[in-house]
Amino acid sequence: MNKICRAVINFFQDFFLDLYNKLFSSKYVLKGKCKKCGACCRNILFSTAEGYIKDENVFKEMQKKHRYYRNFKISGIVQNKQDFQNGALTFECKFISKDNKCRIYCFRPLFCRDYPNINHDLIYNGVEMLDNCGFYFDVNKKFSEYLKK
Ligand code: SF4
Ligand code: SF4
């Protein structure tokens, strides 16, 4: 078999294996419902290429460069989480009202409209929903179900 034939066969093997995995392997699904507690608008994490923002001065510089960041103020600091999150600053959006309503609901950014979306890379890297959030991630088919066959 020449090199071109082998490359074509490998390509189709990878393609169909990838397709099979996408269609039939376990996937994370979102369950539960929003309790309207507003915690996700008060515990936002921002990151740069260096990781999560942990330094107030770095955030002030970001606010000078991008107006968007002026909509947020520091609300706390992450503790007792995975190493990569520990010490990260949390931010509160200035549009959340005291009774947990978004004051720009009709114009809220896409990110807010999508939240909480399923980002497999983040889940595999240990990102979890906020404590007490009404949503949680689950898998549509558990490993034990595959073993039953
Ligand atoms: S933290 Fe969860 S339950 Fe609370 S408002 Fe956000 S999505 Fe809803
Ligand atoms: S824009 Fe509205 S939904 Fe988005 S973080 Fe701010 S208060 Fe929450």
pLDDT of residue 77: 94
Best-predicted range by mean pLDDT among 41-55, 107-121, 122-136?
A: 41-55
Share of the chain above pLDDT 90, in %: 55
Q: How is the chain classified by DSSP, letter by letter?
A: --HHHHHHHHHHHHHHHHHHHHHHS--EEEEE------HHHHSB--EETTEE---HHHHHHHHHH-GGGGGEEEEEE--SS-TTTTT-EEEEETTB-TTS-BTTGGG--HHHHHPSP--HHHHHTT--PPTT-SEEEEESS-HHHHHH-
Q: Examine the pLDDT at 36 and tell me if it is beyond 90.
A: yes
Of the two residues 41 and 82, the one the predictor is more confident about is 41
| Averaged pLDDT score across all residues of the chain | 88
Give the mean model confidence (pLDDT) for residues 2-10: 88
Which atom of ligand 1 is least distant from the CA of 36?
Answer: 5
pLDDT at 143 over 80: no
What pLDDT, on the 0 to 100 scale, is given for residue 39? Answer: 96
For the cut 90, the answer to whether the pLDDT of residue 94 exceeds it is: yes
Ligand showing the shortest atom-to-Cα distance for residue 42: 2
For ligand 2, pick from 42, 96, 114 the residue to mutate: most ligand atoms within 8 Å of CB. 96
Per-residue pLDDT averaged across 2-6, rounded?
86
Ligand 1: centre distance to CA 118 (Å): 15
Most confident segment among 50-54, 82-86, 94-98: 94-98
29 pLDDT exceeds 90? no
Substitution site in 30, 33, 40 for ligand 1 pocket (most atoms within 8 Å of beta carbon): 40
